[in-house]
Amino acid sequence: MNPFKFGTIVQGEFFTDRVQELEQVKHLLDSENHLVLISPRRFGKSSLITKALQQIGRPYMTIDFMKVLSVEDLAAQILKGVFRLYKMEKLKHLLAQFRVAPNISYNPMTNSWDISFMPLMNNASVALEDSMDLLQKVTTSKNRLIIVFDEFQEVDEISATLAKQLRAIIQHQEKMNYVFMGSQESMMNEIFEKKKSPFYHFGQRMNLKKIPYGDFFSYIVSRLPEMKQEEKEKIADAILQFTNVHPYYSQQLAAATYNVITYNRSAVGEAVSQAIKQQVEEHDLDYERLWVGMKRTDRKILTMLARKGNPLTDRSIPTSTAFSSVKRLVKQGYVIKTVSYELEDPFFGEWILQDKMNS
């Protein structure tokens, strides 16, 4: 069994390090304070929170704001989360108090409840208030609810007044914790650091950084197939140098390298380069589609980053143009900022470089 896992929430033996961050999250949720967790996509926010919630052992629900279509839909998703946690018998008399009756039906195919609210004028706010009020009614001192709002930077895209409404409700709730997760730092800053924002300084902020090189290095070395220690260390270093210690892509490349070594032991010395080549070839059409649909300036910026350059100091593009392009690429998820700006996907960077060399 391949000992490296990526693409889904990482749990159990696949969970890498994050010891300090895990304890920090658990300690904060042990209070009645709220958590604001920020990091680029695929840095392991969901895996960290899931592990913390499992160890805490309290009831919780997660709502992805990228998948919320409207205020009514948010109300329905909250209500659906309550149905997953509590029996219908306990909720019947509470639902009778709703000012806007939800449409509730049982789906035997999924063994779950389908819930929706009719999108009628003036009903959206009422439906959300009633659903949020239900959270307060079902939570207890012994089993305090934890509500996770993922990709919370999308709140203003759902409705211009949603943040204000949520803040007005949450500030009066007790015996609950909220976790606000976001992958767009600038947008999350607008929500939690801007004085005029309803959520200004609402909760303890935590920026999730990359896993330290040494910890990730030891993790990879310990899971590689049996070979000389020196070879293991060379492979682990080559993986992390290529991925720049990005949590997701380090796991992906380690998994691919493990397969190369397992099925072709004579290629141990070139295992990492072969694994990189395979990954780039597998995603060739995807990268081609992305590249064709991009602006010319964005392509230049991505090429500079693939070559480890700094587009904001390169004189071939006006600074204002470069800044606008970088800001756009960060919002789209192609570029991330850690210590400096870098490509989110190192395999895409390799594809760009190969394309330039062959053109």
Per-residue pLDDT of the chain (359 residues; tens, 9 = 90+): 888 888 765 565 556 668 889 999 999 999 989 999 999 988 889 989 999 999 999 999 999 999 999 999 999 999 999 988 988 777 888 888 888 888 888 777 777 778 888 766 567 899 999 999 999 999 999 999 999 999 999 999 999 999 999 999 999 999 999 999 999 888 999 999 999 999 999 999 999 999 889 999 999 999 999 889 999 999 999 999 999 999 999 999 999 999 999 887 657 779 999 999 999 999 999 999 999 999 999 999 999 999 999 998 888 889 899 999 999 999 899 999 888 899 999 999 999 999 766 65
Measure CA 346 to chain center: 18
- pLDDT at residue 305, rounded to an integer: 96
276 and 324 share a domain? no
Structure tokens at 263: 């099925």
Q: What is the DSSP letter of 118?
A: -
96 and 32 share a domain? yes
Residue 8 inside a domain? The answer is no
Residue 5 inside a domain? The answer is no
> Cβ(353)–Cβ(307) under 8 Å?
yes
- pLDDT at residue 38, rounded to an integer: 95
Let me know if 311 is exposed, middle or buried by CB neighbors in 10 A (0-12, 13-18, 19+): buried
Domain limit, last residue, from 155, 185, 207: 207
The pair phi, psi for residue 206, each rounded to 5°, is: -145, 120
129 and 34 share a domain? yes
255 and 341 share a domain? no
118 and 148 share a domain? yes
255 and 353 share a domain? no
Domain limit, last residue, from 246, 264, 282: 282
Question: Position of tokens 């303890």?
Answer: 204
- pLDDT at residue 284, rounded to an integer: 95
Name the residue range of residue 238's domain: 213-282
Q: Count CA atoms closer than 13 A to 180's CA, side-chain side.
A: 26
- Within 10 Å of residue 7's Cβ, how many Cβ atoms? 10
Q: Identify any residues that bridge with 115 across adjacent strands, giving them in sequence order.
A: 104
311 and 338 share a domain? yes
What are the residues whose beta carbons fall under 8 Å from the beta carbon of 198, sequence distance 6 or more?
A: 163, 164, 166, 167, 168
- pLDDT at residue 87, rounded to an integer: 82
The rounded distance, in Å, linking the Cα atoms of 232 and 312 is 37
164 and 275 share a domain? no
- pLDDT at residue 11, rounded to an integer: 60
Residue 12 inside a domain? The answer is no
The rounded distance, in Å, linking the Cα atoms of 127 and 79 is 10
Tell me the residue length of the chain: 359
The rounded distance, in Å, linking the Cα atoms of 258 and 155 is 41
- pLDDT at residue 254, rounded to an integer: 95
Residue 245 inside a domain? The answer is yes
- Domains identified in the chain, total number: 3
- pLDDT at residue 120, rounded to an integer: 61
Residue 7 inside a domain? The answer is no
315 and 350 share a domain? yes
Let me know if 147 is exposed, middle or buried by CB neighbors in 10 A (0-12, 13-18, 19+): buried
65 and 133 share a domain? yes
Domain limit, last residue, from 246, 261, 282: 282
317 and 275 share a domain? no
159 and 223 share a domain? no
- Within 10 Å of residue 178's Cβ, how many Cβ atoms? 21
